[in-house]
Structure 1
Amino acid sequence: MKVIAFAGSLRKGSFNHGLVRAARELAPAGMDIIDADISAIPLYNGDEDGDNRPAAVTALADKVKAADAVLFATPEYNYSIPGVLKNTIDWLSRVPGGIFAGKPAAIMGASMGGMGTSRSQYHLRQVLIFLDMHPLNKPEVFVSAAHEKCDENGDLRDEKSREMIAAQLKALQEWHQRLS
């Protein structure tokens, strides 16, 4: 099972990049998690859509097409999805063929606050429904007080959070099998 993982932050020491790294370490047998590098995706411009789509968007779209499922690790900015993640999704949603449609998805997130990206994840679920994806409902992964659970590089060290990620990835694998 091939999973493409989007970390919704460009920050070098991002806690959410740390969640993706932890997910790669904790993936169940038979699951391969690859990174979706969103750093080269330009701001969406409808004039560049269609045949003029930027190469970075086309390359990322090809990776999404090849994936069996999608993993999102999102911070929460102003109670919602970070602009860089939403921008990437907006670009990819305009690639012909509905490349997200029918794919199972899991959402996790880390923040320094006490709610662990719950509002951001709720907004992201709304976007995924529009894209005709199949978001996994449970188990949920909300890593609150991430600055206390991650090291200086953003790597997740909290064992309980790591267990939640492992459980979510197993459930994603089972969800993919049910949908296939």
Structure 2
Amino acid sequence: MSALKLVGISGALRAGSTNTLFVKEAARLFGEAEFALGDIRFPLYDGDLESSEGIPAEVQATADLIAGADAIIVSTPEYNKSLPGVLKNAFDWISRVEGNPWQDKPVAIISAAAGRAGGERAQVATREALVYSQPRFVTGPEIGLAQSFNQFDESGALTNERTIENLQVLMDKLRAEAERA
């Protein structure tokens, strides 16, 4: 059997984002897989732009990554008690491509945030924003990384053993779902 294809989506664009670090750590714990990090630097969704120019190449490229994936990890920050606009914008654009790249794909949602709740509300909002696409959500353990700026060492590795253990459980469940397909 060939290696599973795993795609990570970070809902943060900032260089050094803890959500990008978190999704990469999740991919490492997922184990052997062909991993790609999707790029969601898309223009703002605009129906007129779509009508006049079609689907932007960067949107299609990320949608193609998702369509070809065996499993997907989405890591979201929490902005004003919800998912960031850039992530919602990505979901909106990807919903406009031909076909439904998310349908029946195993998806795990995690979050990293500066606050003490670790992005719990953003996870709920992210799940709600993806329901239309009918992925297979892998639930539990829910992992919200609080005070994320203190949770990684200089090399980008997670330092909290309990978080690592819970993330391993979630990645094992995601792998099992991907292998079941």
Name the CA distance, whole Å, in 1 between partners of 2:156 and 2:19. 8
- Equivalent residue for 2:150, pick from 140, 148, 151: 148
- Equivalent residue for 2:23, pick from 20, 30, 40: 20
Cα offsets for 1:86-117 (capped at 9, x unmatched): 10111001111111111110001111211111
Matches within 5 A, 1:47-86: 47-49=48-50, 52-86=54-88
TM-score by length of structure 1 reads 0.90
Matches within 5 A, 1:100-119: 100-119=102-121
RMSD (Å), alpha carbons: 1.8
Give 1:172 shift: 0.5
3-state secondary structure, aligned to 2:168: helix
Name the CA distance, whole Å, in 2 between partners of 1:151 and 1:42. 33
Matches within 5 A, 1:2-21: 2-21=5-24
Give 1:34 shift: 1.3
More off after superposition, 20-29 vs 6-15: 20-29
Cα offsets for 1:124-156 (capped at 9, x unmatched): 111222211111111221111212212467653
Listed as ranges, the gaps of 5+ residues in structure 2 are none
Give 1:157 shift: 2.5
What's the % identity of the aligned pairs?
Answer: 37
Judge conservation of contact 1:9–1:84 (CA < 8 Å) in 2.
yes
TM-score by length of structure 2 reads 0.89
Cα offsets for 1:8-27 (capped at 9, x unmatched): 00111211011022123222
Q: Which runs of 4+ in 1 moved over 6 A?
A: none
3-state secondary structure, aligned to 1:49: helix
3-state secondary structure, aligned to 1:107: strand
**Which structure carries more relative contact order (alpha carbon 8 Å, separation 6+)?**
1
Name the CA distance, whole Å, in 2 between partners of 1:174 and 1:121. 21
Judge conservation of contact 1:15–1:155 (CA < 8 Å) in 2.
no
Give 1:36 shift: 0.5
Name the CA distance, whole Å, in 2 between partners of 1:94 and 1:173. 28
Listed as ranges, the gaps of 5+ residues in structure 1 are none
Amino acid of the residue matched to residue 9 of structure 1?
Answer: A
